[in-house]
Amino acid sequence: MLEDKSIGLVLSGGGVRGMAHIGLIKAMREHQIEAKVVAGTSIGALVGALYANDNTVDEMLTFFKETPLFQYSFFAINKPGFIDTERYVSIFKNFFPDNSFKSLKRPLFVVATDLMKGNEKVFYDGELIKPLLASAALPPVFSPVNIEDVLYADGGIMNNFPKEYVDHLTDYIIGSNVSITVPLQKKDLRNSLQLTARVTSLMIHASNHEKLQECDLFIEPGELDTIGVLDKKGIKNAFDIGYEHGSRALEKLLSKT
């Protein structure tokens, strides 16, 4: 039975599509399933932090609805990136007033990319907010985050599905992948931006695929492909898709036990 297992929850990056993670969490809670430890990248790190903080599903959705994605006053000056990521610190403090991993109710592993050394960095103790911002700082939209004189950016560059950080701590892993790759038509690859997005998506999917298959239970809803990564109008739709897929997967699993 699942209630006898030590459960790890792994949440991928994927922008607004990450609201599907919250849908999965709602389904888990409705089935009285809670993870003991969480690992996440980018939007998965943000959702993971709210979950590790024991926020309700409504509070999680409010966080993303009220966080200004393209605030004019946040435009970066003398920094790489269009938006100054560190301007979000005060907003995050409303949800994480203690600003520490230690204050969370369950262990959390947050992945970011060290742009200077070109490798992956996992944060799990000390200050919380800056690592969260760094993990979600998608270039070139958001500026890198300076932590102890090192510039960090989106964790998905190096590791978009950080399952390995919960492997040794749990005996059952639930994964949620919202970086979706579906077949395209020629008309969908007509310009450089579309081509870049497609190549990036394929690279991330290739690195995720094997780890995703190793999960004991996972959701990867193809319908999320219709939602833009930075489209805030897609919040409710992505959440509903994640809830539907999560509910179906859990009901199927529990019917076998």
Bridging pattern class, strands 37-41 and 7-11: parallel
**How many CA atoms are closer than 13 Å to the CA of 160, on its beta-carbon side?**
24
Candidate list 154, 176, 179, 247, residue with the active-site label: 154
Considering Cα of 156, then 46, then 231, then 245, what sign does the dihedral take?
positive
Using the 8-state DSSP alphabet, how is residue 110 labeled?
A: E
- 38 in Cβ contact with 205 (< 8 Å): no
Examine the residue annotation and report whether 154 is marked as an active-site residue of this protein: yes
Candidate list 12, 42, 176, 201, residue with the active-site label: 42
Examine the residue annotation and report whether 188 is marked as an active-site residue of this protein: no
Show the tokens assigned to 163: 């399952």
- Taken as a whole, the chain contains a residue count of 257
Catalytic residues: 42, 154
